[in-house]
Structures are given as structure tokens and as C-alpha cells.
Amino acid sequence: MATKYSECTDPTNASKRQATILRMKDEILRDVLANRVPRTIADFSDLQSHVDANMYGGFGETDAFPEGWSTDGQMTPEHVEFINACQQAVCQWIRQGGISAIDALELFDGGPGACYYRVMDEKDAADYLLFVTDHSTRQRPATPESEEICFTIRHSDNAELVSVHHLTGRAGLIAWYQEHVGHNPDQEDEGGPLPILELVTSVALHLMYREMPEF
């Protein structure tokens, strides 16, 4: 579910702060994948030329300050500090090349029934392969009706199996996203639900992050 101001009533809560930072990173990466934000941004402030960066993390999803977030209509100093700390952490992540992870993720058409992503190492050789198959259509996932979606991660040099994830259609993708990323991506785009391949790519990116610590 979306993070609301009211869910952050304790600005000293480290786990809530970390969850908000992770959500902000995820939303930025998805905007980059959707070409709403260029991959070349070097600072958090650069985002403002393309999107309302203050919306990242769910901070713009309420029209009023709920109880615990304001004093006489203004946010408390503790909550201002909470927001600033989250944005500063994300700014540092951008400066350290956090967005460059996307440059290592390439999408290829694997022929009928599959597509695959590969993560490139520093020598431009495929390091890991993530195969995505949709047995219900015998094509790569391309419609909201896709079912039986399987994500298989293997080492590219020896085909050693790293992990397998079975997700049932769009509902399965969204459920995985909510459990592991913390929010529903379909509820944040004014244009409606994400295109299925964009959603698949976002899940693939997060699987890479989780399965490969060096990525």
C-alpha cells in the first residue's frame, strides 16, 4: 500500500525511514525505465526538471496534515527532518551511481515463449541471465492477461541455477511487488495500470537486486 504521512507518526523510526528510502529509489528507477527521468541525472535536485521529486516516497499523497504531522498547520521539525533525511540518503545514492544499475540490465527477445534480461559485468560480458516465460500464451508477457509467468535466474558462464520464481499473471506480479517492494505500482500512475512489460521489467530489476548482492 502507498506510504502516507500518517504512517510515519514516529520520525525516529529507523525501519520506517529505511522503507521510505527504498520506496523512493524504486519509484525513481521505474521513472527511468519509463523514460520519464533521464539516466544521466547526477543529483536529487536534477529530478525536479522532469518530475515533482517531492512526491517520491508517498509524501504528496495527502491534501491535509493528519494528526501527529503538524502543529498549527505546519509539519513538526521532527517530520521535516525525516523527509530531509530520506531525500539526502537518496541523493547520496544517486551521486554514487545508483541509477547506473539500470544500464547493466538489458532486455532481449528470447523467441517464442520467452524474453530474457542480462546483467553486464565491467568487461561487458553477460554475468547473469534472467529468463521470463509465459506458458499460457507461448509468448513473452505482453498483455494484462498473461499467466503462469516464470522468472528463472542463471549464471551465464555455467548456466548454474540461481533461483526460480513463479507468479500467476498480473495479480501475481502486483502481489510480489507489494510484499517485497512495499507498494502497488498500479496505483501511482495517473495514466492507469503499468504496461505489463514495464511491470515485468520492474520485477526483474528487483529480483536482480535481491539475488545478486553485487548488482
Place of cell 559485468: 121
Residues 206 and 109 in one domain: yes
> pLDDT at position 4, please?
44
Residues 136 and 167 in one domain: yes
Decide if pLDDT at 88 tops 90. Answer: yes
Residues 57 and 122 in one domain: no
Residues 138 and 160 in one domain: yes
Candidates 126, 84, 82, 80; CA nearest to 104 is 126
Residues 107 and 207 in one domain: yes
| Mean pLDDT score across all residues of the chain | 72
Decide if pLDDT at 143 tops 50. Answer: yes
CA trace torsion 50, 201, 169, 113 (10° rounding): 140
> pLDDT at position 89, please?
93
Give the residue from 66, 96, 126 where a domain finishes. 96
The CB-based long-range contact list for 172-175 (8 Å cut-off, 24+ gap) reads 173/149, 173/199, 173/200, 173/203, 174/199
Averaged pLDDT, 30-45 = 84
Residues 70 and 153 in one domain: no
Decide if pLDDT at 202 tops 70. Answer: yes
Query: Into how many domains does the chain fold?
Result: 2
Give the residue from 73, 96, 119 where a domain finishes. 96
Residues 163-196: tens digit of each pLDDT? 788 887 788 888 888 887 777 877 765 556 777 7
**The C-alpha cell that represents 101 in the structure block:** 544499475
Residues 92 and 109 in one domain: no
Residues 63 and 108 in one domain: no
Residues 154 and 200 in one domain: yes
Collapse the DSSP code of 134 into the 3-class scheme (helix H, G, I; strand E, B; otherwise coil) and give the result: strand
Mean pLDDT is lowest, of 39-48, 80-89, 194-203, for 194-203
> pLDDT at position 2, please?
38
Count of positions (residues) in the chain: 215
Collapse the DSSP code of 183 into the 3-class scheme (helix H, G, I; strand E, B; otherwise coil) and give the result: coil
Residues 77 and 111 in one domain: no
Predicted TM-score of the model (pTM) = 0.57
Residues 142 and 65 in one domain: no
Residues 132 and 78 in one domain: no
Supply the range of the domain harboring residue 207. 103-211
Averaged pLDDT, 194-204 = 78
Give the residue from 96, 125, 147 where a domain finishes. 96
Cα dihedral sign, 46-48-51-53:
positive
